[in-house]
Structure 1
Amino acid sequence: MVASDIRRQLVIIGGAEDKEGDCQILREFVRYAGGTKAKIVIMTAATELPREVGENYIRVFERLGAEDVRILDTETREDGSSSTALAAINKATGIFFTGGDQARITSILKDTEIDAAIHQRFSEGIVIGGTSAGAAIMPDVMIIEGDSETNPRMEIVDLGPGLAFLPGVVIDQHFSQRGRLGRLVAALAQQPAVLGFGIDENTAMVVTDNQFQVIGQGCVTVVDDSEVVHSNVGEILKDEPLAVCGAKLHILPHGYKFDFQTRKPILDSRTVTTVPVPAA
């Protein structure tokens, strides 16, 4: 296989995905990981209950038919060079990051041998998935924490290094359920990304190369800062309201696609609706 044939795949979940019913999102993750031949490693670094959380995902993935599912629990940075863990990653066809605290993931794993091994396997085409905290770590700069249900101000969000599977963007999760548009806009204003993605619960961005498709019950909200005509970010103090003029907003439900290069939804004749212009 030549390099151009390798498809880089991510399943980025906004949290609270269905684990009891049809499991639409986790079903797709298993399918991308190889279906009944899938070998899945569950990364539990984000949670303080690794066995409980990990076994819940083992139950789901095995019910969906994955061939081999195992927990990789890393509690300290010393675990980041475990030969057993590295062997499991090198055999995996899918790696899944659970929810919890995204700062735990990066503090334990970033720049370790495990981190390097996962990125190597990702470059070789295996699927990487993550939910909630596991979604937050996907960009190179991630939201560590912040306030919900508030207007955008610089003080409401803290940023830090992510694991850079999808660089140059900002991702927030539990999006509409926790009213996080303000903190996503504030995060975009603090670093040079031009695209922000807010993912609802039980909803996922399924990324393949330069585009993604939305699956699940909610929506993915896209904020595009590339054509902003005015921002007061250089004039305000941290606790003062942020102004942003000219940003684009897209709301994408199940089935809709988005192109990272053009920064536009992918629409065909069946989905395009012309909005009438009001008479003067």
Structure 2
Amino acid sequence: MVVAGVTNVQAAPASGGPGYHYYEIGDIKAPRPARTQPAMLLMGGGDWVPEAFHWWVERAGHGRVVILRASGDDNMQKELYNDIGGVTAVQTLVFEDRKAADDPKVLQMVRDADAIFLAGGDQARYVRFWQGTELNKLLDAHVRAGKPIGGTSAGLAVLGHHAYGALDGGSVDSATALADPMGSEITLAEGFLAMPYLSKVVTDTHFARRDRLGRLITFVARAAQASGSNEVVGLGVDEDAVLCVEADGRGRVYALGDGYAWLVMPRHAPERMVAGQPLDYSAVPVTGVGKHSVLHLDGFKVDNPAFTAVAHVKNGHLQLLPH
């Protein structure tokens, strides 16, 4: 289906209200051409994968997309409208503080959205600006209403029930996390959003390029301890890769190169996780979800995995061995 989204349509100048900036492009009043469908677009950061976004736009009924961010401007909405196309309009809300998340105009835009996309940036700002607000409730209501949601980089990081909030002002690396898994650099926000199939999941991004397997294993260990359950699962997505999740929980990877989604599923407690001491965590299964794989998020099974491996952490040092 080809609908609005004509190349080089110009965005409206920035406007806004207390605590936010607002941009728009396209025909805001145009009716949605088709019905919406539940879907999640989980993007690891980097460049857009057009095939994945075409999939997502179709599930948005080719209607109106609202982009939420806490930094930046309207570049993403221009790319979505002009380069991806197939949507009636795109609106962007850039939050500057918490009060905007309870603003009636902001809430109405989000309420009326056919699809919502969380941009990259600093996920700590999302947690501080949105958690416990009316906007927070509307994001969950949007998904319950059978409408698609997506996120990239920081926007993906907050979609898991156990979300790395980066609330210490930085972005912890794997070496630091493994050296002290109970350290103050590891800040998890619990239950910020309620996404389908992600109630036991910690998400992570820019995965292979930034060597984040060690920190995700640590996040999973911390989240499992906090929840009192060894059922917590880690889900990392590479740059330039997207995991597209259908309504039934089936996920497929689209990537510009050989990117993967990484499934980390220990199902057991670490041998040592003590404040001020390095992590010991043996036999952690790691499964790669590639372009020819299918990830079933309803049970965390992978058909045709791209690879299977086992991670062993001893005295804070990670070794990943083929399985």
Note if 1:44 corresponds to 2:44: no
2:38·2:59 contact (CA, 8 Å) conserved in 1?
A: no
Q: In the superposition, relative to structure 1, how do residues 164 and 88 fare at CA in structure 2: closer, same or farther (>3 Å)?
A: same
For residue 169 of structure 1, what is the aligned residue in structure 2? 201
SS in 2 for 1:69: strand
CA–CA separation in structure 1 for the residues paired with 2:147 and 2:59: 8
Question: 1:8-27 residue pairs with structure 2 within 5 A?
Answer: 8-18=38-48, 23-27=50-54
Q: What is the Cα deviation at residue 17 of structure 1?
A: 2.5
Question: What per-residue deviation string (whole Å, max 9, x for no partner) do you get for residues 25-56 of structure 1?
Answer: 33333222123xx21001012x2x2x2xxx11
For residue 106 of structure 1, what is the aligned residue in structure 2? 127
Higher mean alpha-carbon deviation, 91-100 vs 59-68, is at 59-68
CA–CA separation in structure 2 for the residues paired with 1:255 and 1:122: 27
Q: What is the Cα deviation at residue 149 of structure 1?
A: 4.7
1:17·1:23 contact (CA, 8 Å) conserved in 2?
A: no
2:289·2:306 contact (CA, 8 Å) conserved in 1?
A: no
TM-score with structure 1 setting the length: 0.81
Q: What is the Cα deviation at residue 72 of structure 1?
A: 1.8
Question: 1:55-204 residue pairs with structure 2 within 5 A?
Answer: 55-63=74-82, 64-145=85-166, 146-150=171-175, 152-153=178-179, 154=181, 155=183, 157-161=186-190, 162-165=192-195, 166-192=198-224, 193-204=231-242
SS in 1 for 2:242: strand
Q: What is the Cα deviation at residue 119 of structure 1?
A: 1.2
Q: In the superposition, relative to structure 1, how do residues 244 and 184 fare at CA in structure 2: closer, same or farther (>3 Å)?
A: same
Structure with the larger RCO, 1 or 2 (CA within 8 Å, 6+ apart): 1
SS in 2 for 1:152: helix
SS in 2 for 1:179: coil
Q: In the superposition, relative to structure 1, how do residues 8 and 244 fare at CA in structure 2: closer, same or farther (>3 Å)?
A: farther
2:40·2:244 contact (CA, 8 Å) conserved in 1?
A: yes
For residue 265 of structure 1, what is the aligned residue in structure 2? 302
Instruction: Give the % identical residues.
Output: 26
SS in 2 for 1:231: coil
Q: What is the Cα deviation at residue 249 of structure 1?
A: 1.2
1:30·1:61 contact (CA, 8 Å) conserved in 2?
A: no
Question: 1:227-266 residue pairs with structure 2 within 5 A?
Answer: 228=268, 231-233=270-272, 236-266=273-303
Q: Which has a greater percent of helix?
A: 1
Q: What is the Cα deviation at residue 24 of structure 1?
A: 3.0
Equivalent AA in structure 2 for residue 175 of structure 1 = F
Question: What per-residue deviation string (whole Å, max 9, x for no partner) do you get for residues 5-28 of structure 1?
Answer: x9642111101123xxx6333333
Q: In the superposition, relative to structure 1, how do residues 83 and 232 fare at CA in structure 2: closer, same or farther (>3 Å)?
A: same
Q: Which runs of 5+ in 2 are unaligned?
A: 1-35, 225-230, 308-323
2:174·2:214 contact (CA, 8 Å) conserved in 1?
A: yes
Q: What is the Cα deviation at residue 83 of structure 1?
A: 1.8
Higher mean alpha-carbon deviation, 91-100 vs 151-160, is at 151-160
2:66·2:116 contact (CA, 8 Å) conserved in 1?
A: yes
